[in-house]
Structure 1
């Protein structure tokens, strides 16, 4: 088994257990949250094939773990002991800081992400790519527009992190735009 395979299996098992404890599902669905995590990891695997000097083993672990601090009772220390400081720092940067006012959370997260290696930037783009699906039925047009605006900010701030994912994100934003225009349909 390669380092990538072993790292993937260790991280997905860890993340799946943590999110399952919360009975976490993909928002607006009955799909287990681990599907979202594996979709983010798939974006990373595809980006790695198109990117030179990309540490896919590190990036895949970060992709699979990116929401455990934000959405579960997992601690920074637990990630650090299990996966190392580099992974723990990346997952922390990808997590919203609850001490930051809501309007500043995305800018704060992007600032912290940009201080880390490009693999972390790639995970943030991959996460938003996979989240730009049909929005949950309960979202308002305003929420959808805000989510699109955040995606545009991510695309602008992180575009130099990975050309493949920057292009994928730009394409997804265009596709997602139809949901934010529902209020101007005839």
Structure 2
């Protein structure tokens, strides 16, 4: 199974990006990365790693597996969690990095439940929205998701590992039909972590 974890800080990513992308695109992405790092600050992931590592992992997925060279798409990959997980807004992203990047970030940002809303229903509607998403949105979201699940066994909560595996298989693996370059990646991932499906079935039988 392919793991994308070689880019932990910007200097890890810069030369590989320059080997693949025009200079002006990489220079722009450097600015985007610094903005994303400032917005996320000292946030960490569930296993304790700095949040920016996730952003660079997702960028590596988008470039190496997704095959995109589009500046706005790659910018959205780096900024995809800003509006959802920081004080930054889609409007600020548009002001600094343009409308297209902001639109892509907005498309992958999970909405907050309103008064009286069922959070589970809001999440379900959010996930279903990707079934009709355009290819660029799928590329951003699938790059994000693969980064989230490629080291699923490091998540500190085994129950979350099982739920995240099941949700990814049910909701995200089918989306690869709209982004076929991701098909082998998620197929290998699903097989690699298939024990999590077995664990879930065993727990259900023993309940």
TM-score (norm 2): 0.74
**Would you say 1:7 and 2:28 are equivalent positions?**
yes
Instruction: State the structure with more CA Rg.
Output: 2
Q: Residues 42-121 of structure 1: matches in 2 within 5 Å? A: 42-49=60-67, 54=68, 56-99=70-113, 101-113=118-130, 116-121=133-138
Aligned residue pairs total 175
Cα distance, 1:18 vs. partner? 0.6
Distance 1:103 1:148, change over 3 A: same
Corresponding residue number in structure 1 for 2:186: 169
SS in 2 for 1:12: helix
Cα distance, 1:37 vs. partner? 0.3
SS in 2 for 1:151: helix
Structure 2: stretches of 5+ with no match in the other structure = 1-21
- For residue 136 of structure 1, the aligned residue among 140, 155, 168 is 155
Assess if the C-alpha contact under 8 Å between 2:44 and 2:50 holds in 1: yes
Structure 1: stretches of 5+ with no match in the other structure = none
Cα distance, 1:71 vs. partner? 0.7
**Would you say 1:24 and 2:43 are equivalent positions?**
yes
Q: Deviations over 1:106-165 (max 9, x none)?
A: 44334444555312101111111111112422x242x32321122121121x22332122
- For residue 34 of structure 1, the aligned residue among 20, 41, 52 is 52
CA distance in 1, matches of 2:112, 2:94: 20
Assess if the C-alpha contact under 8 Å between 2:94 and 2:102 holds in 1: yes
RMSD of equivalent CA atoms: 2.3
